[in-house]
Structure 1
Amino acid sequence: MTHAVHVLSWEDDPHAAALRWALERMGVPVVHSPGLAQWRGDEVAVEIGLGHAGLSSATDAPISVWNRRPKARKPKPSLPEDQAFIAGEWRTFYDNLVEAAAQLLPSFWINTPAAAWRTENKLVQLVAAREIGLAFPETAMGNDAAAVRRLAQGGRVVFKTFRAHAWQEEGGLSTTTTILDNDHLPDAQVIEFCPGIYQRYVEKTSDIRVTVAGNRMLAVRMRRRSKEAYVDWRIHVLDEDFFAEQITLPAALEQRIQALMASLGLVFGCLDFVVDADGEYQFLEVNQAGQFLFLEDMIPDIGVMRMMASFLAAGSRDYSVVEDATLNMAEFRSTETYAALAHRLRLDEPATA
């Protein structure tokens, strides 16, 4: 199949389903696979020689490959004594595919598996931001209580986990973003028990989510209607007091964002910033497979679905956004496809991670 978009993600991924609907409305065929090791089927091989290299089942290179949220291959049932060996072989084979995928399949990758894997490293992100000159809160990563206490001497700190997580507690969700001060830090034994991310707390006025797709980006400011900022806006998007607006970023910041993306080898990402009391944008992180369609629940005419569908269909950093205003989440939610998906997944809240 020529001029197709190939999506790598789990079967009922809402973002993959929404973009497949949009692309097919645009007349662009879509192929969906769970991951690299299930490329168009249960069997996959890399065929390589002096004159050729590629995936055996990839007869026609897609115009673009959206490396959305792929899943590693699960081994088939086997004898108990063979399970560890077979699982290790699949894991190692998958790692091989991740490193070489962009060379084996010369399509436009969003993002290449190797860059995506590397960018999941929070420390790599901050090192790149530092080299580019993006401001970010002073940070200590790890389980050294002395380092955390030194950081806290300058004011309050924010504790975050390396991986997103929330605990269900009485009265609602408890997130992993916690504000600490020097007088109420956990005991050293608690800090040393598990590594974490500790950052100097920024007295912020708002949060900024920037969605970058190639050479285009959309930025949204989020805060309370009372103009106060949330500690963690992600768990408040359904609050009556939640307020969001599309903004234009300073040109110098846009240039640094694109420089960061290039440094990390990314063509797509969702970046989080906070704005401090002096109006400076402080970088927090980039999620290379972040959620973005929830922005249309906040700002219906923002056009993020149209932007992403156009990007996938173009297979290039430079592209024009289609003018079809019906390519939006409201229209998608009126379809039988969405109704069936929502029933299977019991969708009732926007995904924001």
Structure 2
Amino acid sequence: MKAPVLVVACLDDPTTDLVLDELHDRDIPVVRFDPGADFPDEITLSAYLDRSGLTGSIDTPTRHLNLSNVSAVYWRQPTPYRPSPNLDPGSAAWTADQARYGLGGVLAALPGTFYLNHPFRNRDAKYKPLQLATAAACGLTIPHTLITNRLRSADGFISRPGRTVFKPLWSTPYKSETGKWRTIWAHRIDHEDLDETVSGAAHLFQKQVEKVADVRVTMVGDRVFPVRINGAPALDWRLYYDSLSYELIDAPPAVVKGMRTYLDRFGLVFGAFDFCLEPEGEWVFLECNPNGQWAWFDDPIPQQIASAIADMLTRPKGSS
């Protein structure tokens, strides 16, 4: 029997479903669960470690997984570990941490297993300052950027030529004064928007790129899927899905080389890169999501990406 692919993902994820369909069409056995939601109520873990390495098993209500016999892991945004609601706050925090470092540690240590991507590499690659610094070191063009909690520095940066954009460093939901949860998107910022509250947190300010289009490049190994996003009337195209159209294009060789070097620096196999395309043809790097979405593109792009991911997950063990 073929060794299974382990899929670690939340249950409601169309992106994962496309890859699962591709694996099923290839007759590849799959074990899927969401450790944050399913452990410990739906998952039992028995992992043994000695001088021979890691052995043992994980059991779900419908699957048995031999930890020594996993061919590959597709790591797709599982939910955070959460404790039982019946526990007091101290016990709840303790049990959630034990799950994260226990089950999470086992899932990160499967012997001889290929990860797309390894969860620790995903974690490292999510920090925007590190993304920008790495992109520049890899030869990619980046916008002029300031990260600060100093009002004077922010005010001086806005005074420089060009419009300034504020972006959150992490997409944490924010509770407004009215008590409603909202997401903070990239938006223009001017002098009158600044005050002493800048000192209360780190902020990312960036010179706005004058663009003719956005480009999302999904990279799987050495396969590149650059998609031009047309029709976005504002800074952040994610607010305007209904008005967007998508076109598969070619990426300049120098950009492809920079992206490949970028993924290698982080130890990644997969990355979803966001670029602005300037009128003169310059590709300006904005960020790279190591676990980015791609299922919403027009057909046949999602199927092509799902096939590329399945190709990586079904390579013989030990292949480079």
Residue by residue, what CA displacement relative to the aligned partner does 1:215-241 show, whole Å, maximum 9, x if unpaired?
A: 1110011123xxx864211122212xx
Tell me, yes or no, if the aligned pair for 2:263 and 2:269 is still in contact at 8 Å: yes
1:235 corresponds to 2:246: no
Q: What is the letter of the counterpart of residue 61 of structure 1?
A: N
Residue by residue, what CA displacement relative to the aligned partner does 1:200-253 show, whole Å, maximum 9, x if unpaired?
A: 1111121110001111110011123xxx864211122212xx332111111111
Matches within 5 A, 1:136-285: 136-154=142-160, 155-164=162-171, 176-181=185-190, 184-224=191-231, 230-239=234-243, 242-285=244-287
State the Cα distance separating 1:305 from its structure 2 match. 2.9
1:350 paired residue number? none
Residue by residue, what CA displacement relative to the aligned partner does 1:295-347 show, whole Å, maximum 9, x if unpaired?
A: 135x668723333333333368989xxxxxxxxxxxxxxxxxxxxxxxxxxxx
What SS does the corresponding residue of 1:103 show, helix, strand or coil?
coil
Counterparts in 2 of 1:124 and 1:317: CA distance versus 1, 3 Å: farther
2:304 paired residue number? 303
Answer with 25-34 or 185-194: which moved more.
185-194
State the Cα distance separating 1:64 from its structure 2 match. 1.4
- Partner Cα separation in structure 2 for residue 317 and residue 257 of structure 1: 24
Q: What is the letter of the counterpart of residue 254 of structure 2?
A: A
Structure 2: runs of 5+ lacking an equivalent: 59-64, 177-181
What SS does the corresponding residue of 1:158 show, helix, strand or coil?
strand
2:75 paired residue number? 67
2:179 paired residue number? none
Tell me, yes or no, if the aligned pair for 1:55 and 1:105 is still in contact at 8 Å: no
1:35 paired residue number? 35
State the Cα distance separating 1:185 from its structure 2 match. 4.0
Q: What is the letter of the counterpart of residue 23 of structure 1?
A: L
Tell me, yes or no, if the aligned pair for 2:39 and 2:99 is still in contact at 8 Å: no
2:62 paired residue number? none
- Partner Cα separation in structure 2 for residue 168 and residue 73 of structure 1: 22
What SS does the corresponding residue of 1:62 show, helix, strand or coil?
coil
What SS does the corresponding residue of 1:66 show, helix, strand or coil?
strand
Tell me, yes or no, if the aligned pair for 1:141 and 1:195 is still in contact at 8 Å: yes
RMSD of aligned alpha carbons: 3.2
1:50 corresponds to 2:51: yes
1:84 corresponds to 2:90: yes
What SS does the corresponding residue of 1:198 show, helix, strand or coil?
strand
Matches within 5 A, 1:327-346: none
State the Cα distance separating 1:24 from its structure 2 match. 1.0
1:330 paired residue number? none
Counterparts in 2 of 1:150 and 1:133: CA distance versus 1, 3 Å: farther
- Partner Cα separation in structure 1 for residue 42 and residue 105 of structure 2: 21
1:335 paired residue number? none
Residue by residue, what CA displacement relative to the aligned partner does 1:97-127 show, whole Å, maximum 9, x if unpaired?
A: 6567443342110111110111121122122
Counterparts in 2 of 1:96 and 1:131: CA distance versus 1, 3 Å: farther
Q: Percent identity?
A: 25
2:139 paired residue number? 133
Q: What is the letter of the counterpart of residue 116 of structure 2?
A: I
Tell me, yes or no, if the aligned pair for 1:208 and 1:272 is still in contact at 8 Å: yes
Residue by residue, what CA displacement relative to the aligned partner does 1:176-201 show, whole Å, maximum 9, x if unpaired?
A: 211124xx442322323443321111
State the Cα distance separating 1:43 from its structure 2 match. 2.2
Q: TM-score, normalised by structure 2?
A: 0.83
Q: What is the letter of the counterpart of residue 17 of structure 2?
A: A
Q: TM-score, normalised by structure 1?
A: 0.76
Residue by residue, what CA displacement relative to the aligned partner does 1:14-50 show, whole Å, maximum 9, x if unpaired?
A: 2222322232122222210103884995222442112
Answer with 52-61 or 18-27: which moved more.
52-61
Tell me, yes or no, if the aligned pair for 1:110 and 1:268 is still in contact at 8 Å: yes
1:112 paired residue number? 118
